[in-house]
Amino acid sequence: MNEKDIALVDFDPDKNQITELWFNDSIEFGHGCRISIRIKNVLCHYRSKYQEIAIFETEKLGRMLVLDGITMLTEFDEFAYHEMIVHVPLLVHPNPAKVLVIGGGDGGTVRELLKHPEVQEIHVCELDEEVVKACKKYLPSLASSFDDPKVKLFFEDGARFVTEHPGTYDIIIVDSTDPIGPGQILFQRKFYEDMKGALKPDGIAVTQCESIWLHKHVISGVASFAKKLYPKLGYYLSMVPAYPSGVIGFFFCSLEYDPIEDLSEERAARLSGLRYYTTSLHRAAFTLPRFGEELL
């Protein structure tokens, strides 16, 4: 993160204090625009072995996690991301007993997984242990989920991890950073092939796959090979205001179950504590604009 990412807007020399501080999230891949968020305090800001980690206290959006200058989440709207990446596949698979999360070091995905009594075991493969440490300290509303006895953490390379666990998981959720830096390998064909190998014969994988507005080439690139690997492939959306385009998308990669036809209304009705997900929204999320359909 350089000086353009945290902008000092005003400084009061009489009080010797900053009066305005803003974080600038520049949209990657050269779109020439950015979103700015006013922050009250820098809770932590340091470089780990793999990336730059920052957690801010914002003025209106609660606490915010930033990795390599890119917004990962805010407390204001993170539930819209985490509920959709989890409950869509979990309510389609009839028995999601064993789940792997790749990435997800903030703990939000695990928090949502634990709402499903069918889940017996959760493996989390997060490359950077420092992300988990920072989130446990500053984002306990998400990261306290790691303390549940069903959860086991592995601080390893997720791309290699799936090759070492063939035919193991009912569900794999790839809660990754963007396709730059350490997350780049998770958007490549080899990883999707290896991920398929780590699933049980009726398994489902869901992967974070960027904004339909900003990253069309990434989405079309993944679709070009994923549709050859997974008999049931779909792409669906969630609205997350703190992200630069306000929208994030996910690939639904299934070896057997259909994301609409096999949705369990009965199990969905038993879930509590949800703020975004509904079964109606689940179905609607797979309806894309014309240009989105053409990407697939």
For the entire predicted model, the pTM comes to 0.92
pLDDT at 30 > cutoff 50:
yes
Q: What pLDDT is attached to residue 20?
A: 78
Q: Which amino acid is at 178?
A: D
Please name the fold of domain 78-295.
Rossmann fold (3.40.50)
% pLDDT > 70, the chain: 89
**E strand intervals along 49-117:** 52-58, 63-67, 70-74, 98-103
**Reduced to 3 states, what is the DSSP secondary structure of residue 64?**
strand
Catalytic residue numbers read: 175
Domain ranges of the chain: 6-72, 78-295
Please name the fold of domain 6-72.
Spermidine Synthase; Chain: A, domain 2 (2.30.140)
Calculate the average pLDDT of the chain.
Answer: 91
pLDDT at 28 > cutoff 90:
no
Pairing of strands 70-74, 63-67: antiparallel
